[in-house]
Structure 1
Amino acid sequence: MSERAPGSRYDTGLATRRSVLGDAHVDRAGANMTDFDTDFQTLITESAWGTVWSDDTFSKRERSIVTLALLAGLGHHEEFAMHVRATAQTGATAEDIRELLMHVAIYAGVPAANTAIKIAKETLAGMQAD
Structure 2
Amino acid sequence: MTDAFERGMKVRREVLGDDHVDRAESSKTDLDRDFQEFITRYAWGEVWSREGLDRRERHLVTLAVLCALGRDHELEMHLRATARTGVSREDVSEVLHHVAVYAGLPVANSAFRLAREILPQVPGPAEHLEDPEGTP
Q: Does 1:70 align with 2:65?
A: yes
Task: Confirm or deny that 1:48 pairs with 2:46.
Answer: no
- Show structure 2 runs of 5+ residues with no match: 124-136
% same residue: 50
Moved over 6 A (4+): none
Residue in 2 aligned with 1:10?
Answer: 5
Amino acid at match of 1:118: R
> What residue number does 1:99 align with?
94
The equivalent position to 2:80 in structure 1, one of 85, 88, 95, is 85
Matched, 1:117 2:102: no
Q: What is the CA-CA distance between 1:126 and the residue it aligns to? A: 2.0
Give TM-score, length-normalised by structure 1. 0.92
Number of residue pairs the alignment of both structures matches: 124
Q: Aligned with 2:53: secondary structure?
A: coil
What is the deviation of 1:127?
A: 2.0
**Alpha-carbon RMSD:** 1.2
Displacement of 1:125 in angstroms is 1.4
SS at match of 2:81: helix
2: CA distance between counterparts of 1:34 and 1:89?
A: 28
Pairwise CA distance, 1:56: 2.1
Consecutive unaligned residues of structure 1, counting only runs of 5 or more, are none
